[in-house]
Amino acid sequence: MNFLDKLKQFRDYEEQLKWEGTFADYLELVKKNPMIAQSAHSRVYQMIISAGVSEQNGHKHYHFFDDKIFGLDEAIERLIEEYFHPAARRLDVKKRILLLMGPVSGGKSTIVTMLKRGLEKYSWTDEGAIYAIKDCPMHEDPLHLIPPHLREDFFQETGIRIEGNLSPLNVMRLEKEYGGQIEDVPVERIFLSEDKRVGIGTFSPSDPKSQDIADLTGSIDFSTIAEYGSESDPRAYRFDGELNKANRGLMEFQEMLKCDEKFLWHLLSLTQEGNFKAGRFALISADELIVAHTNETEYRAFISNKKNEALHSRMIVMPVPYNLKVSEEEKIYEKLISESDVANVHIAPHALRTAAVFSILTRLKESKSRGIDLIKKMRLYDGEIVEGYNEADIKELQNEFPDEGMGGIDPRYVINRISSAIIKKGVPSINALDILRSIKEGLAQHPSISDEDRSRYTEYIALARREYDELAKSEVQKAFVYSFEESAKTLMDNYLDNVEAYCNSNKIFDPITGDEVDPDEKLMRSIEEQIGISENAKKSFREEILIRISAYARKGKRFNYKSHERLKEAIQKKLFADLKDVVKITTSSKTPDEAQLKRVNEVIARLVDEYGYNTTSANELLRYVGSLLNR
């Protein structure tokens, strides 16, 4: 199917979804499906839930935010459970402005944009269908036509509560055009669209001297006063403010706390009573979710001003910190790069991870009570196993600094430096060192970084490089060892057989001679010595390994050499110990002989085929590791 055919197919689909009828027809639809009449808050919540929810370790993951928001599961869960869900159930938080507060480039705007785009798409589904009084500029809820004295009867019959009153314009239309015959008022299905200003509004502050309150609440159309004779005639009023147009959906207040006070006053009544004042009319009802976002500095200044107490009490403040997981930070960079014109540039494995390590280190705070360094803390937060720490320790670390993640380097800065590295190098491949070099150069030019932070961040660059050095050496050594994982498993199984026999005072079966022999002390010590296990400590270390294996078995998990951090290190070091000289000579030789050259080419081929490098980045990796091993 070509593109023009797809356009025609979409127009046909749009025509199928359109619906128009009288209020009497609409009532029949409502009786069959009461969800049609849900509030804006309920519609947003149902939209999020419809995308799917999964649960792990007592925490919920909302799939609506997948592919766009990374590492903010806890913030998103709190947002849903403490605001959207109770607001959908008509609890009092519905009468609050949702204020997302966090550092720049932390995901606040992305969350709001996802909600807006999601609502647009959801309104095209059967579950998210929305109906409004036809030709109403505010796309008003048809149920507002039901007089207040009959609403309790309607609730008893349908279970649907009606909130809000008919707008001044529709009050006049009902009398003049339909003679008070509510059942004859035409109703149509609407589709939310920010571009068409249907159900989604966005307000951005500008110069207080030039910005008019009409941007929010609409204004009088003076060209029609001669026709209608009065400024208080609703037909002479343009219901085209952002609050008018966002009715039935969502209203975004960008940088809300930068707004002039007169704009914020209108929100007091809108949040508490669901209506606002415009022109010379009665209060105008509006059913809309108000979402605002700001940074922490502006928020602190706002709440310190006593004049803002009334508005502050009508806000639900949701912190949106930076992501604190290296693996999730890496996904952010991958997403941003994939959306750019440099998506075709080869970025060597571990390059983005190394940048992510630096970013996360700048956002973490050193624990005062647990005596844990930032690298271990970073690994714990990312779900890695760190010897001596468990889930309870992670919770304690997270509770130590409730504001952790509200500062540090933002993703945009790192992406800017990655872009700079790509342009500066001028080749279709960059590696971790290129990115770290670019980040370091950028720190000197960053206007908002203090000298103290610059010095600290430089130390984090050095830490990130050390992490990369270990990854690089391990990567090359694995490439030199054919089928590394299989070799590691064989060595571990052999070690564990001997450890089990040693701890249980048993003998082991020799598969070659068929005899029962004593545990191989030489083998066990050759592995344990790699991580400094002394002769006196070997027994407790071996018993600890067996206890860990037993714990895994009880939980139905499979134990492997990566399941114990120190054993993993010992196995790797043992495998690499005899190989180190080979790697060192092969990678650093300026005039390799035929055998060395063949080995290098084999390793490069393996790095390209199995590890995600291209020829350029693989050669750079080998040269770098060769220099590391020769130091």
What integer pLDDT is reported at residue 590 of this predicted model? Answer: 65
Given 3-state DSSP classes, what are the helix, strand and coil percentages for the chain, each rounded to the nearest 5? 55, 10, 35
DSSP-assigned letter for residue 429 = E
pLDDT (mean) for 152-163? 93
pLDDT at 181: 95
Residue whose token pair is 């068929």: 514
Answer yes or no: is pLDDT of 475 > 90.
no
Q: How far is residue 244 from each of residues 21, 87, 171, 203, 239, measured CA to CA in Å?
A: 24, 21, 16, 12, 6
Q: What is the β-pairing status of strands 429-430 and 346-347?
A: parallel
| pLDDT tens profile 12-53 | 888 899 999 999 999 999 999 999 999 999 999 999 999 999
| Weakest-pLDDT range from 153-157, 407-411, 479-483, 542-546 | 479-483
Residue 70: what pLDDT?
Answer: 93
Going by pLDDT thresholds of 50, 70 and 90, the confidence category of residue 64 is very high
Q: What is the pLDDT of residue 435?
A: 94
Name which residue leads in pLDDT, 340 or 3.
3
pLDDT at residue 407 is higher than 70: yes
Largest CA distance in the chain: 112
* C-alpha angle 403-405-407 in degrees, rounded to nearest 5: 95
The average pLDDT across 446-472 equals 91
- pLDDT of res. 489: 86
Q: Specify burial of residue 27 (Cβ count, 10 A radius: 0-12, 13-18, 19+).
A: buried
Selection from 292, 206, 310 nearest residue 251 by Cα: 292
| Token pair recorded at residue 504 | 């249980």
d(CA 36, CA 129): 6
Architecture of the CATH domain 22-319: 3-Layer(aba) Sandwich (3.40)
Pull the structure tokens for residue 542: 């071996």
Locate 472 and state its tokens. Answer: 């690089």
User: 578 falls in which pLDDT band (50, 70, 90)?
Assistant: low
pLDDT for residue 81: 95
Average pLDDT value for the chain: 88
Query: Domain spans of the chain?
Result: 22-319, 326-473, 490-577
pTM score, whole prediction: 0.84
Classify the phi-psi angles of 418: left when phi > 0, otherwise alpha if psi is within -120 to 50, otherwise beta.
alpha
